[in-house]
DNA sequence: ACCTGAACACCGTTCAAGT
DNA sequence: ACCTGAACACCGTTCAAGT
């Protein structure tokens, strides 16, 4: 379906205007609210999935929900609030189940890969998350709770848990960007002769023929962090 | 000097208009070019230093250089090019000198802290750097060359050097964001009761009374990476 | 309370005209 | 080649008016 209007199952609109185009709602408060946070979040995710973050404008978001842009401001204070809604939705998709069933090392490993994979598709959210007070993001907070409990159970000293999670998260966020980098990011071009060590290192990596170089770097760093942090347990 | 107009020593303008306000340049090609990349970069840095990245608009940049906004496009293709100029300027500020004089561990440590500190003040550049082909950024490439040479000399297997640097960089970029996070980022607020492990971990860290919690996390992660990567040397 | 519609104060970028 | 000045196609956000 190429250009059919986005339709949410929860919003059934009677359509009294048989003329072509969308049915017009006249001004004034509607009998039942047209918008809610869940619908706004779903529409934003649909838009992002179709056109990326460049396509996520307040105008486009409003259009996809068949309302005027200003209507959104009855439900969110700013576009940043919309990004926050999306972020918290995605946080719930991060797989933390291994903390309940597996040893600490493999639980951290699965969580980290899942976390990176989810946000690699949503790097424009990273500046938002990195500075996000957890109070504003219940699902994100729930993820932290599960992970913290896993660290505690594994014998991590309490005063180091937050720092360890923050360090892992920093690595994960940076690595999420790395996934999106173009394949030729390290081609030194005509500067190759003046950068023999780096150019050699790049060629040596390329010769390995890895399908996804970003995964090699992520694995290398993650395993080092797991070993290093694992030694803190008692 | 509170509000004096920015003046580059290389640009001396005769001022034939004695009336108040800036001297107007009439349309047409000036005898000598008013703009160049170095001047644009310097002006951008001045603007960022004064008003942050929100203050860095093409219009403001042009105004600070006493030209029309469209004049900038004779020298850069887009605003992204301006950010790239700034990024490459900053890359030259990262301290890589230790690679010539100190053991690998302390050289990596100094480089990583310096790198994080420089870009913590410039986090809006991180999405740009992370996807930046090194060909477009000679100073950045020079940094990679020095670091790669340091890794090679320290006995790092050639095919692992790039992955190790990328992993360190990912950690550094994520940690740069962390520096800018508000102090109360982890206050769970009224959700505290439902998140006992996390809330406990946050309080336990707070009880340590560290001035800069971001530095604790960075140190913890960096040392783990140094130990882990150090083991790859032969 | 929650919508519409018009308006505001910006953005980055393009392009003809001028020298 | 490298400026000016006007214009374009957007942005996010505000606010009076309507029900």
* CB of B26 lies under 7 Å from some atom of strand D: yes
Contact A95, A114 (CB under 8 A): yes
* CB of B74 lies under 7 Å from some atom of strand D: yes
CA of A168 to C1' of D10 (A): 39
Work out the average pLDDT over A159-179.
98
CA of B82 to C1' of C7 (A): 32
Judged against a pLDDT cut of 90, whether residue A9 lies above it is answered with no
**Backbone Cα Rg of chain A:** 23
Judged against a pLDDT cut of 50, whether residue B2 lies above it is answered with no
Residue A207 is encoded by which pair of tokens? 């010769």
Determine the pLDDT at residue A16.
Answer: 33
- Whose structure tokens read 């950010």? B83
Nucleotides of C under 7 A from a protein CB: 1-7, 10-19
Residue A136 φ/ψ, nearest 5 degrees:
-80, 0
Pick among A166, A169, A176, A211 to test the B interface (most B CBs inside 10 A): A166
Q: Where are the domains of chain A?
A: 1-21+29-88, 92-230
Determine the pLDDT at residue A13.
Answer: 33
Task: Give pLDDT tens digits for A94-151.
Answer: 999 999 999 999 999 999 999 999 999 999 999 999 999 999 899 999 999 999 999 9
Determine the pLDDT at residue B23.
Answer: 66
Work out the average pLDDT over B199-212.
97
Work out the average pLDDT over A1-5.
31
Residue nearest to nucleotide C1 (CA to C1'): A29
Architecture of the domain spanning A92-230: Orthogonal Bundle (1.10)
Judged against a pLDDT cut of 70, whether residue A190 lies above it is answered with yes
Mean pLDDT over each residue of chain B, to the nearest integer: 90
Helices (H), B10-153: 37-51, 58-64, 79-91, 104-120, 126-130, 138-153
Judged against a pLDDT cut of 80, whether residue A4 lies above it is answered with no
Domain A1-21+29-88: which CATH number of 2.60.120.1270, 1.10.10.60, 3.10.450.50, 3.40.50.2300: 1.10.10.60
Residue A38 is encoded by which pair of tokens? 């869940």
Task: Give pLDDT tens digits for A41-74.
Answer: 999 999 999 999 999 999 999 999 999 999 999 9
Task: Give pLDDT tens digits for A201-218.
Answer: 999 999 999 999 999 999
Residue A157 is encoded by which pair of tokens? 């000293």
Q: How many angstroms separate the CA atoms of A222 and A216, rounded? A: 10
Task: Give pLDDT tens digits for B111-134.
Answer: 999 999 999 999 999 999 999 999
Q: How confident is the model at residue B20 (pLDDT cuts 50, 70, 90)?
A: very low
């Amino acid at each position: 379906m190429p250009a059919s209007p986005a339709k949410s199952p929860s919003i059934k609109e009677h359509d009294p205007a048989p003329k072509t185009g969308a049915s017009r709602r006249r001004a004034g408060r509607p009998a039942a609210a047209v918008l809610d946070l869940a619908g706004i979040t779903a529409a934003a995710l649909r838009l992002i999935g179709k056109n990326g973050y460049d396509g996520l404008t307040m105008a486009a978001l409003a259009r996809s929900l068949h309302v005027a842009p200003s209507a959104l401001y009855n439900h969110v204070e700013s576009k940043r609030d919309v990004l926050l809604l999306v972020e918290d939705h995605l946080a719930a998709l991060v797989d933390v189940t291994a903390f309940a069933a597996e040893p600490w090392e493999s639980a951290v490993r699965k969580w980290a890969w899942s976390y990176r994979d989810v946000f690699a598709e949503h790097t424009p959210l990273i500046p938002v998350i990195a500075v996000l007070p957890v109070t504003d993001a219940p699902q994100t907070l729930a993820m932290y709770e599960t992970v913290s409990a896993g660290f505690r159970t594994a014998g991590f000293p309490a005063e180091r848990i937050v720092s360890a999670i923050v360090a892992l998260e920093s690595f994960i966020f940076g690595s999420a960007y790395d996934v999106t980098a173009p394949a030729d990011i390290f081609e030194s071009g005509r500067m190759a002769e003046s950068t023999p060590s780096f150019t050699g290192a790049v060629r040596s990596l390329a010769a390995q023929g890895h399908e996804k170089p970003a995964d090699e770097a992520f694995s290398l760093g993650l395993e080092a962090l797991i070993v290093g942090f694992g030694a803190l347990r008692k």
